[in-house]
């Protein structure tokens, strides 16, 4: 592998533009760059969650998801390139099914919180939703691979289930939302 990322300071972005993977330059406030940034932020928060004491199977899944998000970022960085597909979505659906059957059914909304790692999973869930909205916004201007949006939609579901699972594994119940609690 070459040392292609050894020069971090290039100064080429000092004019408010950045380079895409195809060599083109676009403004840093472009919807595509916003989407790339949202996916990057999500990946960073997943890294923070992965620093918590977690069951090995969840840690393994988180690392795989981080690789998937780099794939998604590369797809966003190179217009026309396709990296995500049905297999990525199936992975998340399988992971969701692995845990959801062990949880009590929900009849009410729950509050984010509980065990620290569960709280971090809720943060990842909400950032997944924001990243998904960013992709939908970009997709309205430049059509994207549908698998990208589907993946982020499933990913927020995954983090919701993981948050509940981590609370359950640590003996903490779901805290149900109570309307108009004063």
The predicted-structure confidence for 3-54, as pLDDT tens digits, reads as follows 665 677 777 667 777 777 787 787 678 888 899 999 999 999 999 999 999 9
Tell me: the pLDDT tens digits for 122-157?
999 999 999 999 999 999 999 999 999 999 999 999
CA distance linking residue 99 with residue 75, whole number of Å: 29
Cβ atoms of 21 and 77 within 8 Å: the answer is yes
For residue 119, give the CATH number of its domain. 1.20.1200.10
DSSP state of 23: S
Domain that holds residue 126: 26-169
Tell me: the pLDDT tens digits for 53-73?
999 999 999 999 999 999 999
Is residue 134 situated within a structural domain? yes
- Could you give the number of structural domains in the chain? 1
Is residue 12 situated within a structural domain? no
What does the pLDDT average to over 162-178?
95
Cβ atoms of 161 and 100 within 8 Å: the answer is yes
Tell me: the pLDDT tens digits for 67-92?
999 999 999 999 889 999 999 999 99
CA distance linking residue 11 with residue 59, whole number of Å: 37
Is residue 40 situated within a structural domain? yes
CA distance linking residue 50 with residue 44, whole number of Å: 10
Query: Would you state the pLDDT for residue 5?
Result: 59
Query: Would you state the pLDDT for residue 6?
Result: 65
Q: Read off the pTM.
A: 0.91
CB-based burial label for 134 (10 Å; 0-12, 13-18, 19+): buried
Q: How far is CA 10 from the centre of its chain?
A: 28
């Amino acid at each position: 592998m070459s040392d292609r990322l050894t020069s971090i300071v290039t100064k080429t972005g000092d004019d408010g533009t950045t380079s895409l993977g195809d060599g083109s330059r676009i403004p840093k406030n472009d919807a595509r760059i916003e989407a790339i940034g949202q996916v990057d932020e999500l990946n960073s928060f997943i890294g923070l969650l992965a620093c918590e004491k977690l069951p090995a199977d969840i840690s393994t899944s988180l690392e795989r998801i981080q690789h998937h998000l780099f794939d998604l970022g590369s797809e966003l960085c190179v217009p026309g390139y396709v990296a995500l597909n049905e297999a990525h979505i199936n992975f998340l659906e399988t992971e969701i099914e692995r845990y959801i059957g062990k949880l009590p059914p929900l009849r009410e909304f729950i509050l984010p919180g509980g065990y620290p790692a569960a709280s971090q999973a809720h943060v990842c869930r909400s950032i997944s939703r924001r990243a998904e909205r960013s992709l939908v916004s970009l997709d309205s201007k430049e059509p994207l691979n549908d698998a990208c949006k589907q993946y982020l939609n499933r990913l927020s579901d995954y983090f919701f289930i993981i948050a509940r699972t981590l609370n359950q594994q640590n003996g903490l119940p779901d805290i149900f939302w109570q309307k108009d609690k004063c």
